[in-house]
Amino acid sequence: MLKLCRNRRHGWILNRSGSRAVCAVSGQESLNRGYAMEQYAIKGGNPLVGEVEIGGAKNAALAILAAATMTDETVLIENLPDVRDTKVLIQAMESIGVIVNRIDRHTVKINASHIHDLTIEDDYIKKIRASYYLLGALLGKYRKAEVSLPGGCNIGLRPIDQHIKGFRALGANVRIEHGLIITEAEELRGNHIYLDVVSVGATINVMMAAAMATGKTTIENAAKEPHVVDLANFLNSMGADIKGAGTDVIRIKGVAKLHGSEYTIIPDQIEAGTFMFAAAVTKGDVTVKNVIPKHLESISAKLLEIGCEVEESDDAVRVVAAKPLGHTHVKTLPYPGFPTDMQPQIVVALGLSTGTSIVTESIFENRFKYVDELTRMGANIKVEGNTAIIDGAERYTGASITAPDLRAGAALVIAGLAAEGVSVVDDIKFIERGYEDFHIKLQSLGAQIDKVNTERELQKFKLKVG
């Protein structure tokens, strides 16, 4: 079997001195002279007003892209978000022989009939969690796969024991060697699998492998997130036989072959929720369009509780924040509970509310790392274990802050939009993993935000905003 070599077209490659980077995607070179990364410069104080179009769901897209490798026929995927994580996964797929044709920014045609390698060992792919979806997809189709142990946002321990348990239950051998997860099976046989924790990733991975196993599989205590349902719908559109996705028992009858399909990815629940909270925090009036309001129920419910008006229509939700924000208590839970991916955004809002709020993080143990940054902007938050106790402050003030991960990064941008004065957010590469054109969409709602590359650009921004 061929071993994958790092492809120079894929990502930034630093030379030994670390002074020159080659952008493999664009083929351009850039010299890092002192200013190593892009930042967001924000002048707070403007209420966000207007309409914003929500893109395809990143976490559904990642699963669906991987699943598209399970057929030799061509698959057309629409409403694909153009974000860093999907680009990285596509590059990994291309590196094993999958042909991906971009029809336009949000549409790709995928043909996986010429896969020449089942090993995905790439420095960049390690950085995205969803790289491990290629395990379930390739194991299902080829009975073998080797993928670098995944990374992803640094929000907690993130074990993969439930994925391994599921693959083993289907008859696969799984071992971890030299940083790779290696899984292979003579034959994959359907089985009854009870997941010990509700895991989106394990549900998705096991569902993909079981879709092409022999016989019936039942996944109990399955995750019910919208992207789990979207993947099941996509696999079914390719000829799989999956029932019960969206409930905690998923029943799968394995099929020998999957065929081509045309599929549109659902809207991103978390991107929508982030803009809804941006409206709340900036005392704005924002309509998020191209959404499925049902997926936003737990988010809308909390916004109503803290005093916002929320109007739903068929495929849009309008949030108006005319009154001061009130306090509330929140516990993150698997869907349909309040999403962990919205926890930093609601904390930013509660940090400006009247009264004391308690936010309990029950999914990831290390997801309050951004609180130090928010404190530097004037928030009164005490973290004890997995609980944040928030005493609402009157205002935030602009500061230089660092995005510790994707969702916390987006939440800090929102804090900056509400703060007095200028904020500079570092490490926006995390935000770009999951938000397409974040600053451009915010600008269209009246936000004063720019992406800056150099100290000079930052000074120019400061002069512009006064």
SS3 at position 31: strand
Residue type, 371: V
In the complex with ligand EPZ, which residue's Cβ is closer, 32 or 247? 247
CB of 133 to ligand EPZ, least distance (A): 8
Residue 274 in contact with ligand EPZ, rule: CB under 6 A: no
72 to 91: interface string for ligand EPZ, x by CB under 6 A: --------------------
Residue type, 263: Y
Site for ligand EPZ in 166-195 (CB under 6 A): none
Region class of 315: left (phi > 0), else alpha (psi between -120 and 50), else beta: alpha
CA 213 to chain centre: 28
Residue 121 backbone dihedrals phi, psi, to 5 degrees:
-130, 100
Q: Please choose, out of 95-103, 151-159, 213-221, 279-287, the segment that lies near ligand EPZ by the rule CB under 6 A.
A: 151-159
Residues sharing a CB contact under 8 Å with residue 209, sequence separation 6 or more, in sequence order: 135, 136, 137, 139, 140, 166, 167, 170, 172, 188
Q: Please choose, out of 43-51, 65-73, 102-110, 159-167, the segment that lies near ligand EPZ by the rule CB under 6 A.
A: 159-167
Q: Which of 160, 172, 210, 319 binds ligand EPZ (CB under 6 A)?
A: 160
Cα angle: 329, vertex 335, 336; to 5 degrees:
70
Q: What is the CA radius of gyration of the chain?
A: 22
In the complex with ligand EPZ, which residue's Cβ is closer, 201 or 254? 201
Residue 59 in contact with ligand EPZ, rule: CB under 6 A: yes
| Distance separating alpha carbons of residues 258 and 68, to the nearest angstrom | 10
Q: Find the Cα–Cα–Cα–Cα dihedral 361, 363, 367, 371, rounded to 10°.
A: -10
In the complex with ligand EPZ, which residue's Cβ is closer, 263 or 435? 435
Residue 443 backbone dihedrals phi, psi, to 5 degrees:
-60, -40
In the complex with ligand EPZ, which residue's Cβ is closer, 61 or 419? 61
Q: Please choose, out of 74-82, 197-205, 272-280, 353-361, the segment that lies near ligand EPZ by the rule CB under 6 A.
A: 197-205
350 to 389: interface string for ligand EPZ, x by CB under 6 A: -------------xx-------------------------
Q: Which of 185, 406, 414, 449 binds ligand EPZ (CB under 6 A)?
A: 406
The single residue of 5, 23, 153, 308 carrying the catalytic annotation is 153
Residue 149 in contact with ligand EPZ, rule: CB under 6 A: no
Residue 5 among the catalytic residues: no
Residue 127 in contact with ligand EPZ, rule: CB under 6 A: no
Residue 205 in contact with ligand EPZ, rule: CB under 6 A: no
In the complex with ligand EPZ, which residue's Cβ is closer, 220 or 241? 220
CA-based end-to-end distance of the chain: 60
In the complex with ligand EPZ, which residue's Cβ is closer, 44 or 409? 409
Residue 441 in contact with ligand EPZ, rule: CB under 6 A: no
| Distance separating alpha carbons of residues 454 and 134, to the nearest angstrom | 38
CB of 199 to ligand EPZ, least distance (A): 3
CB of 90 to ligand EPZ, least distance (A): 15
**Contact between 445 and 48 (Cβ < 8 Å):** yes
CA 199 to chain centre: 15
User: Residues in the chain, how many?
Assistant: 466
For ligand EPZ, how many residues bind (rule: CB under 6 A)?
26
In the complex with ligand EPZ, which residue's Cβ is closer, 197 or 440? 197
Residue 163 in contact with ligand EPZ, rule: CB under 6 A: yes
Which of 165, 156, 75, 61 minimizes the C-alpha distance to 113? 75
CB of 386 to ligand EPZ, least distance (A): 11
Residue 344 in contact with ligand EPZ, rule: CB under 6 A: no
Residue 435 backbone dihedrals phi, psi, to 5 degrees:
-120, 120
CB of 268 to ligand EPZ, least distance (A): 9
Instruction: List the beta bridge partners of residue 76.
Output: 109, 262
Alpha helices (runs of H) in 351-446, residue ranges in sequence order: 371-376, 406-418, 429-432, 438-444
Write down the residue that tokens 């879709």 correspond to: 211
Q: Which of 86, 162, 328, 386 binds ligand EPZ (CB under 6 A)?
A: 162
Q: Which residue is nearest to ligand EPZ (CB)?
A: 201
Site for ligand EPZ in 304-343 (CB under 6 A): 340-341
Cα angle: 256, vertex 203, 54; to 5 degrees:
105
Q: Which DSSP string do the residues of 256-310 spell out, in sequence order?
A: S----EEEEPPB-HHHHHHHHHHHHHTT-EEEEES--GGGGHHHHHHHHHTT-EE
Q: Which of 129, 251, 295, 318 binds ligand EPZ (CB under 6 A)?
A: 129
Active site residues per annotation = 153
- Interface residues toward ligand EPZ, by CB under 6 A: 59, 62, 129-130, 153, 156-163, 197, 199-202, 223, 340-341, 363-364, 406-407, 434
